[in-house]
Amino acid sequence: MPLSARTRALSLVVSAALLAGCSFAATPTAAHSPAPASPALTSPPPTSKPSAGASPTAAPSSAPTPTPADAPSTAASCTGPIPAGDNLILGAIAGSAAVVLRDITDLANPRTLCTFAGTPSPRFVTASVISFSEGGANLGDPGDVLRVDLGAASQRKVATWSGSTFGSGLFDWSPDGQSATYVAPAGDGWAWHLLTAGAADRVLTTMPPVPGRGGSPDDSFSVSFSPDGLYLAMVETFTTGSGETAPVQVRRASDGGLVHSAASGTMGVWASVPSRFFYRENHSGAVTRWDPSTGVSPMQSSLQWVRPFASPDGRWVAYTVYDGQGLPHVGLYSVQGNSFGLINQQLRSGAQFVNDRYVWYQGESLCGGNPCGLRSTQPSGTTYLYEIATSTENTSRIKSLYDAWPRGTGHGT
């Protein structure tokens, strides 16, 4: 079951790496207006930013390389134009393994508009432009971030690298679709990049190698834009450091300048209007908020949320939380009220918003005699839509969910 973000749940890339050794992404806000034209993003040679143990000018051999212009795309087949003002999702529907773009504006009469070849994990850039990472399933494999214009049936690789490292392929797009941030290899470690149309590919920081260890339910790894596009955040739980190599960082999108860092943190999410970044301490329920105007404020002391996901209007954060027996439930955090509570007492996980009114999540069942790794439950095969206003839960035909449009305030990690 995919875990989206923008933010985009532990990212799929990280989840795969952890589970193999033992994500997910993110939704932003946009007006209901025609989708902007696809900018001609490519990946020029990166400009490096100094960091601990790295030369300011040295470019690693596995750094992203220049990519070609648009090429014809067979990534998806669409039945017609995609309405930019409609409520759209990327996911799979019960009874089929196909990944689709589906219009759910009328929940009683949803329409599948596009069907993807293979099983990518796509994210919206605009209503009719999507993006996903390719390759990198194994360390050392080549990989890239692909941008696909569904209306024009064209695509381009906005960044490529020759040998993947831990976290390679994590990415997010700015709310206006003009900039991308992503993770790519850098020597023995990895680098956080910012790529803007018409500008050089900037290395925001270079991080040290990830040491070998087992996974933890508190692990997360994500990069994300703020809803207003003014800031970027990175949260990861696999290295240690401070300042330029801190595992929690917030930077200005305009120049990449570091405006906030923390020596530890996990499960970050952008929420609220104006944009504020929330994250919690590793192994505790202490939730911290970073505000561009007021700085850092403690918000909660006992909210040990997992995979937080913000509503498009920024009023709510949906999350998974584990009880004393290690069983998962879904809860809602009120950003304005700074209060939280469970949706119900049932076994549920993987909450994401499909719009301001509805939260999607999956049912869970006890593992019994089946091994579940770090978990004590497993997906039941049933998914749900929860209406906040009426506190009503109904089963859903959305089997898995990668992203929703219009974009919201930010994917979780």
Task: Convert the pLDDT of each residue in 363-391 to its tens digit.
Answer: 999 997 777 877 789 999 999 999 999 99
The answer to whether residues 349 and 362 touch, using CB atoms and an 8 Å cutoff, is yes
pLDDT of residue 64: 55
The answer to whether residues 133 and 144 touch, using CB atoms and an 8 Å cutoff, is yes
Q: What is the mean pLDDT of the chain?
A: 84
190-228 as b/e, with b when 16 or more CB fall inside 10 Å? bbbbbbbbeeebbbbbbbbebeeeebebbbbbbbbbbbb
Backbone angles phi, psi at 202, to 5 degrees: -95, 130
Question: Strands of 328-334's sheet, edge to edge?
Answer: 306-310, 316-322, 328-334, 339-342
CA–CA distance, 394 with 396 (Å, rounded to integer): 6
- pLDDT of 263 over the 50 cut: yes
Return the minimum-mean-pLDDT range out of 108-112, 209-213, 332-336: 209-213
Three-class DSSP labels, the chain: CCCCCCCCCCCHHHHHHHHHHCCCCCCECCCCCCCCCCCCCCCCCCECCCECCECCCCCCCCCCCCCCCCEECCCEEECCCCCCCCCEEEEEECCCCCEEEEECCCCCCCEEEEEECCCCCCEECCCCEEEEEEECCCCCCCEEEEEEECCCCEEEEEEEECCCCCCCCCEEECCCCCEEEEEEEECCEEEEEEEECCCCCEEEEEECCCCCCCCCCCCCEEEEECCCCCEEEEEECCCCCCHHHCCEEEEECCCCCEEEEECCCEEEEEECCCCEEEEECCCCECEEEEECCCEEEEEECECCCEEEEECCCCCEEEEEEECCCCCEEEEEEECCCCEEEECCCCCEEEEEECCCCEEEEEEEEECCCCCCCCCCEEEEEEEEEEECCCCEEEEECEEEEEEEECCCECCEC
% of the chain with per-residue pLDDT over 70: 82
The answer to whether residues 69 and 42 touch, using CB atoms and an 8 Å cutoff, is yes
- pLDDT of 36 over the 60 cut: no
Q: Could you give all domains of the chain from N- to C-terminal order, each with its CATH number?
A: 12-299 (2.120.10)
CA–CA distance, 308 with 287 (Å, rounded to integer): 11
Neighbouring CB atoms inside 10 A of 390's CB total 8
Long-range contacts from 369-378, C-beta under 8 angstroms, 24+ separation: 373/19, 373/22, 374/22, 374/215, 374/216, 374/217, 375/217, 375/326, 375/328, 376/325, 376/326, 376/327, 377/327, 377/328, 377/347, 377/349
CA–CA distance, 1 with 96 (Å, rounded to integer): 13
pLDDT of residue 155: 97
Q: What is the pLDDT of residues 310-322, one digit of tens each?
A: 999 999 999 999 9
- pLDDT of 309 over the 50 cut: yes
Q: What is the pLDDT of residues 127-177, one digit of tens each?
A: 999 999 998 777 778 999 999 999 999 999 999 998 877 788 999 999 999
274 cis-preceded (ω within 30 degrees of 0): yes
Backbone angles phi, psi at 200, to 5 degrees: -70, 155
pLDDT of residue 12: 33
The answer to whether residues 275 and 228 touch, using CB atoms and an 8 Å cutoff, is yes
Distances (CA, A) of 37 to 66, 129, 195: 22, 9, 17
Give mean pLDDT, residues 47-70: 45
